Structure 1
Amino acid sequence: MQNNDHSDRDALNDLPNGVKLSWGLGKQPSRGPKGELSVKKIVDAAIAIADQEGLAAVSMNRVASSLGFTTMSLYRYISSKDDLLILMQDAICEVAIPPETDGSDWREQMRAYLKACTDIFCSHPWFGDLSITSIPLGPNNLQVIDWMLRTMRDFPLNDYEKMSILLLISSYARSTGIIKRDMVRAIQAGGSAEAFTGLNYSAALKQLVQPERFPSLHPIVMSGAYTGENESENTVGDDFDFGLERILDGIQHYLDIKRED
């Protein structure tokens, strides 16, 4: 039994320091006045800086200054900026997970999951600037994953298939979240919403996109569909919603095949 306990401790020690802190496994410093600093206060301050000025503005020195402490004071709680970034990322992934209800529609649940994920990119624009360095390991990240897996509890799929669907939906959430974030950034920087529909460039593109060079694109440009003309004729609706619905249709089709086997 002691060997097992030792093995469990070794496994936890393999986790990055930032992940261990997110689980409350790190040792709190014994020196200094109690209550003046904490991991949460440091992370909250760093998130506030990143929200206002971007990820590049976050440094241990800057966070310490915003809290009125020396940089060395922060290192007693969080040992590096990399650990701080891990904690920031997990902190903003704390979302309100809807309660489980009997007979709830899995498609609606997945729509809610995707919205919660994409909203993070708009609420915290720096989130998409963080590189993916490992599988999710923090408690808030895993809580969101648990929510998504809950929607597939009754699916006739094995664990690997469920994880693949999770990756599919999460990847779509990330791509749409970053696009929406970039659109908001561009408009805040003085750009126009029309630039994203391309409506202002419609006439120019109709001259430039010739059928000899762009045989498949040309009729789309000429119809106005490429630049958002004649929106009243658009039966698809929001492009992102359309894409999600086709993904969900594909999942439904796969489920139907599995149930027939």
Structure 2
Amino acid sequence: MTVEPPAVPAAPEPELPRGVALAWGVAANPQRGPKRELSIERIVEAAVEIADAEGLGAVSMARVAQSLGYTTMSLYRYVSAKDDLLTLMQEIGTGLPPEPSPDLAAGDWRGRLRELSRAQVEHYLAHPWLLDIPIEGTPVTPNNLAWMDAMLDALADVPVDEFERVAIMLLFTGQMRWRGTIERAYADAASAAGVDPQAIDDARDALLDTLVTAQEFPAVRRAIDAGVFRDETGDPLEFGFERLLDGVAGYVAERAAGAPRDIPAPADPVEAEAAGDKKVREAQKAVREAEKRLRDARKLARDATREATRRIRDSRR
């Protein structure tokens, strides 16, 4: 008699967080209530409007309910927690990636990554609060995955493997998030001061020109004198972005020529544990103390230089 092996139970499907389920449109219908004309879409749109105008910190369930003319409890029939609301706000703010430009040549992965990267920055500037939502691993909502898919598709014909494509995609998404952070900071500073963003640069350049001497910071002084901080030579952020493309292109060329995949080995767990060793902590403390003494010495040198300059100037009068 043949004995059938016991059936192996299938692994249970992971339970979707409600915010993710709502983003995918597979969440259970909200509880019925007296104000059924309210909808998830209206709630999220109201929250986005508040965040656009006042920042993410201004968004609360009570504030959103007030803007819609409902009670806070009415919102909880649709969105069970603020974290779910943030997930849906991020989904709306992120939007969908642009389609490839009609004049973009087939296989032009550099051009396509330029389009997608610049579009990402535009979304960050349109909805700056997106940068304040914590990163919690790989995104799992439709619009976020659409951006990931578009960037990976741009690299589909590049002679690298899937791991490398994801790594390149993360390189550029990280760069654009950083650029969005920088540009938002300029916009916020200009808005707070009630001036044009260029005025922020002009004021900073004037301070640098006054404070930085060739004796103390010779390399920075050379950059100032070359007009780098006055944008006379171009956009350094754009220049850096193009160098990222050049670096990836060089790596791709090596892979196409048969070079093996170049991936650093993961950190040695023994070394990682040693980083928390008492001797390491003591060494780090000593470095911090030495840096403080160096800063103090540099301040004394600056003061001495200024005093000597003043005396020379006074003696010539």
Q: TM-score normalised by the shorter chain: which range applies?
A: 0.7 to 0.9
Q: Is 1:122–1:177's contact at 8 Å kept on the other side of the alignment?
A: yes
Which residue identity is paired with 1:93?
A: T
Residue by residue over 1:21-69, the C-alpha shift from the partner in whole angstroms, topping out at 9 and shown as x without a partner, is: 1111211124126851222221111101111111111111111121222
CA separation in 2, counterparts of 1:182 and 1:106?
30
145-154 vs 124-133, greater mean Cα deviation: 124-133
Q: Is the 8 A contact 1:202 1:224 kept in 2?
A: no
2:155 aligned partner: 152
Which of 122, 127, 132 pairs up with 2:125? Answer: 122
Aligned to 1:256: 253
More moved, 39-48 vs 88-97:
88-97
CA-CA distance at 1:137 after TM superposition:
1.0
Aligned residue in 1 for 2:197: 193
Q: Percent of aligned pairs with the same residue?
A: 41
Contact 2:44 2:85 in 1 (8 A): yes
For 1:110-189, what aligned pairs fall within 5 Å after superposition? 110-189=113-192
| Structure with the greater alpha carbon radius of gyration | 2
Contact preservation (8 Å) 2:21, 2:27: yes
Unaligned runs of 5+ in 1: none
Alignment partners' CA distance in 1, 2:48 and 2:42: 10
Please state how far the C-alpha of 1:257 moved relative to its aligned partner. 0.3
Matches within 5 A, 1:4-19: 4=10, 7=11, 10-11=13-14, 13=15, 15-19=16-20
| Residue in 2 that maps onto 1:247 | 244
In 2, Cα distance between equivalents of 1:152 and 1:119: 22
CA displacement 1:85-123 (0-9 Å, x = unmatched): 011001211225305877151111101111111111111
Report the 3-state secondary structure (helix = DSSP H, G, I; strand = E; otherwise coil) of the residue aligned with 2:124.
helix
Q: Distance in 2 between matches of 1:206 and 1:218?
A: 8
Please tell me the residue identity of whatever aligns with 2:55: G
Structure 1 residues 62, 205: CA separation in 2 closer, same or farther (over 3 Å shift)?
closer
2:122 partner letter: D
For residues 241 and 34 of structure 2, what CA distance do their matches in structure 1 show? 51
TM-score, structure 1 normalization:
0.87
Distance 1:35 1:104, change over 3 A: farther
Return the offset for 1:186.
2.2
Give, in whole Å, the separation in 2 of the partners of 1:129 and 1:253: 34
Q: Paired residue for 1:213?
A: 216
1:253–1:30 CA distance, 2 compared to 1 (3 A): same
Tell me the secondary structure at the aligned position of residue 229 of structure 2: coil
TM-score if structure 2 supplies the norm length? Answer: 0.72
1:175 is aligned with what amino acid? W
Tell me the secondary structure at the aligned position of residue 226 of structure 1. Answer: helix
Displacement after TM superposition at 1:211 (Å): 2.6
- Written as runs of structure 1 = structure 2, the 5 A alignment for 1:30-179 is 30-32=31-33, 36-99=37-100, 103-179=106-182
Mean CA deviation greater in 203-212 or 62-71: 203-212
Letter of the 2:195 partner, please give it: G
Q: How many matched pairs? A: 249
CA offsets, 1:177-205, max 9 Å, x none? 121122222222213423443x3454553
- CA pair 81-2 structure 1, distance change in 2 beyond 3 A: farther
For residues 79 and 87 of structure 1, what CA distance do their matches in structure 2 show? 12
The runs of 5 or more residues in structure 2 that have no matched partner are 1-6, 259-317
Cα distance change, pair 3–158 in 1 and its aligned pair in 2 (3 A): same
